[in-house]
Structure 1
Amino acid sequence: MAGIQGSVGIIHTELVSETSYSLSVIGWIGSLMIGLCTMSCIGMNLISFSSIMILRGYFLKMLPLAYGMCLAGVGVGMVSFPPFYVYLHVTFGLQGSFLIVSAICMNSVVFSGLTVPTRTQSQKKSMEKGLSLADLFDFSLFKSYTFVMFVTGHLIFNIAYAVPFTYLPIKGEETGFSEQSSALFITVLGAGSSVGRILFGWMSGKFPLIRKKAFLVVMVLSTLSLLPVSFTSSYSLIMVCSTIFGACAGIIHTEIPSFLIGLIGIDNLPNGLSVAYLQQGIGSLVGIPIAEAVCRRVGDNSAFVFTTVVCALVLVLFTLSLYLPERKPETPKVPHILPEVPKPEVFVVTMAETGPTAA
């Protein structure tokens, strides 16, 4: 936060010297940068992380479905909030829109008050003795090669996940569609994400034995879904591809906590999930610059091919992490505790020695 505020202060100074805008206008722009780009993103991730942690105390068998329903709001927001923002901006202006949206976000405080706190025995003990730095950042998780491969795959997938949000509207406008029609690609992507999260969450809770295989099938679909977009100009086909990718991406993001529980245990979920969310932010940050560099070097149609190649690499990493056996520590040899007992002497008596004497 301090580094970002310092950077904003430097930008303020540069804007004062290079532009004719007043200090109040430039200060308002700086407040927008801090409020929208920094604090809102931190708050959003805190809400998502806390929601997942709360759900694990209430559900066990139907935990995947609970995660799907909890995170399905991301896709619903993609579909419903863009026209809602337009309506607010036209009706109440910019400042009124920000005020109403902030009031909507404050409802999370009300809903959080409705949850009853549940604590396990390990959580109660940790609260009694306090938390140390090792409890907050458990670096021993990286000793597991399956965990390392899984979170690496999650990082790479987020690099690919950021690409369609920028290049699908660009593809639509380059093909000849209007700006409003091209924006519908993101809308159907969000709709597919909501539906996919809930349906796959229900299926994971209902049929847990096929969850891994179904997850890998979804990963294959996400790999191939955007490849036709590079070679087509059909509006309906691009819509279908966007919907399939949105559904698959929503499923993958929703199932991350469930598979982390299987890899590292439910007690280590906060540490593992913090790593996953950190990678999600890093992937979203560097995904677009990497795709832009690839497009400039190879060609304009290579953005979706880049997404396909990256998702294929993620498929390999996820498959290895979910099916490779984890190395178990060797059982230590237990030394002999009891002293050795000497063997008893055995005497063999033959029949000739015990029978009657010969005549």
Structure 2
Amino acid sequence: MSPKQEESNPLMVQFLCETEVNYKPSDLAIDQSELYFSAEESQPGRNTEVKRNSRWCWVVLVAGFLTLSVLDGVGYSFGVLLDPLVAELGVGRGGISIVGSLQTGVYSISGLIASKATSRYGTRKVCSFGNIIAALGLILSSFSWDLPSLLLTYSVITGVGFGFMYIPAIVAVAEHFTERRSLALGICVCGTGIGTFVVAPLEAVILSSMGWRWTLVVLSGMCIICLACSATMSPVQNEDEEDGSTPIFYPGTKNRSLLQQVGCCILGEELFYHPNLPTFLIVALADVLGTLALFVPFTYLPELAESTGILPTQAAFLISAIGIASSVGRILSGWIDDQPWSNPILLTGLVILGAAFQPVFLTWCSGYASFLVFSCLYGLFTGVWIAACSPILLSILSLHLLPPAFGLMTAIQGLAALLGSPIAGLAVDYFQSSRIALLLSTVCLSCSTSVFMLAYIQDRRTKHRMRYQEIL
């Protein structure tokens, strides 16, 4: 109907006038529970308090960095406590080693629950809860008298606390930044390497003077101090931002198949029905293949270096060199991902391809200088890959879906990391050579690169189809 026809129609004029006069904002109130529509404008527990990209966002970045430094520093330095625990509890090194491995597994799997809690209650409450649980677990573990009690307190309770600290720390940084977000996330995840570098020698000093029980109490105090970090994770103002979000329509619960119900239970409704879900699943598969190989060189590189006549202290420093180079790679990854020409999926596939060559080169090394160069290159490439995880999820999904997607990725990464080294160990025992572990690492990384390339192609097709549908 043309404007002139509307003006000439007295019924239409009367309708428009009455609509304008009787309009009330409350008339637009919608019962969210009766709509099957993914609306990202309202999120429980996230009040408008702090603007994005304000000066406060840098405080949140420091808080996230320190949180990751503490939780990963404590987790990755468990080897410092290995000998005292073996001596006092009367358990073999294999049994005590399970304590650290189980904590890593619980820490990763609990990310699934932590991600849902973060979406519902916000980053501040969830991270604070994680700090308290982790501190409680460490205090209780200081009273352990046998292996089962240590597994319950240090592995399970503390592991759950670390999982509830990790997810909100990452999500809080992503929420507070829109400009230079990838760089901020890259700096944040550097806390893992810095924490390991600082906490391990600190544990050794406390252990030598106070014993392992008081060492655990001090570590518990560090988690309590991190409550100040979680307190800085303020809710952000819900400003209008193009974060790649897409309206998602999905059927009611009565019209879903069994597969859809299971998928919604695991992934959540919005993630399961997101048009880019296939890309996310391909990325998850590629990440699993890569993570299977990620930590293998950490385990078998020192032994390989010593077999060529390198001193044990120099061989141990190769692991530190990988960690330092990884921190540089994470910051570099954040800077690259912030560039308008960058695609984080393509970047990840390329750097994993670069990382895949390094284990092979390491098997050919005969001098310390060559070992050091290729170790640093491996750390640099894998650091870029690790820091690109969150930018990938933000690119293919949205900021609103980062908590559930990142929680799922963390869980499968943890399981893959737990399986990688034992599988490589079986290969080493069968072939009686540590070189086979590094070659197996190259194979897994190469497969991961191929799958990431498939994810890149799928992502381009999906986004092209979505743009075409918007035009129509």
What TM-score bracket applies, with the shorter chain setting the length?
0.7 to 0.9
Is 2:316 the partner of 1:183?
A: yes
- CA distance in 2: counterparts of 1:165 and 1:146, whole angstroms: 30
Is 2:217 the partner of 1:99?
A: yes
Is 2:113 the partner of 1:113?
A: no
**Rg larger in 1 or in 2?**
1
Is 2:169 the partner of 1:51?
A: yes
Q: CA deviation at 1:142?
A: 9.3
Residue 174 of structure 1: which of 307, 315, 333 is its match? 307
Question: Residue 155 of structure 1 corresponds to which residue in structure 2?
Answer: 288
Write the mapping of 1:203-282 to structure 2, written as runs, cut at 5 A: 203-205=336-338, 207-212=339-344, 213-282=346-415
Is 2:420 the partner of 1:302?
A: no
Contact in 2 for aligned 1:74/1:190 (Cα 8 Å): no
- CA distance in 1: counterparts of 2:280 and 2:347, whole angstroms: 20
Question: Residue 145 of structure 2 corresponds to which residue in structure 1?
Answer: 27
Contact in 2 for aligned 1:79/1:191 (Cα 8 Å): no
- CA distance in 2: counterparts of 1:61 and 1:323, whole angstroms: 27
Q: CA deviation at 1:86?
A: 1.8
Contact in 1 for aligned 2:144/2:150 (Cα 8 Å): no
Is 2:456 the partner of 1:322?
A: yes
SS at match of 1:326: helix
Contact in 2 for aligned 1:195/1:247 (Cα 8 Å): yes
AA partner of residue 55 (structure 1): V
Q: Which runs of 5+ in 1 are unaligned?
A: 1-14, 17-23, 123-131, 335-359
Contact in 2 for aligned 1:137/1:271 (Cα 8 Å): yes
Write the mapping of 1:330-345 to structure 2, written as runs, cut at 5 A: none
Residue 155 of structure 2: which of 8, 31, 37 is its match? 37
- CA distance in 1: counterparts of 2:274 and 2:153, whole angstroms: 34
AA partner of residue 209 (structure 1): W
Q: CA deviation at 1:166?
A: 1.1
CA deviation digits over 1:313-332, x for unaligned, max 9?
1111111212333344896x
AA partner of residue 193 (structure 2): G
- CA distance in 2: counterparts of 1:273 and 1:256, whole angstroms: 8
CA shift in 2, pair 1:103/1:257, >3 Å: same
Q: CA deviation at 1:143?
A: 7.5
AA partner of residue 192 (structure 2): V
Contact in 1 for aligned 2:290/2:444 (Cα 8 Å): yes
Q: TM-score, normalised by structure 1?
A: 0.75
Structure 1 range deviating more: 57-66 or 320-329: 320-329
Question: Residue 67 of structure 1 corresponds to which residue in structure 2?
Answer: 185
Q: CA deviation at 1:270?
A: 1.7
- CA distance in 1: counterparts of 2:230 and 2:174, whole angstroms: 15
Q: CA deviation at 1:299?
A: 4.8
- The root-mean-square deviation of aligned C-alpha atoms, in Å, is 3.1
Question: Residue 445 of structure 2 corresponds to which residue in structure 1?
Answer: 311
CA shift in 2, pair 1:297/1:113, >3 Å: same
- CA distance in 2: counterparts of 1:176 and 1:141, whole angstroms: 54
Q: Which runs of 5+ in 2 are unaligned?
A: 1-88, 91-141, 241-260
- CA distance in 2: counterparts of 1:229 and 1:246, whole angstroms: 13
CA shift in 2, pair 1:120/1:326, >3 Å: farther
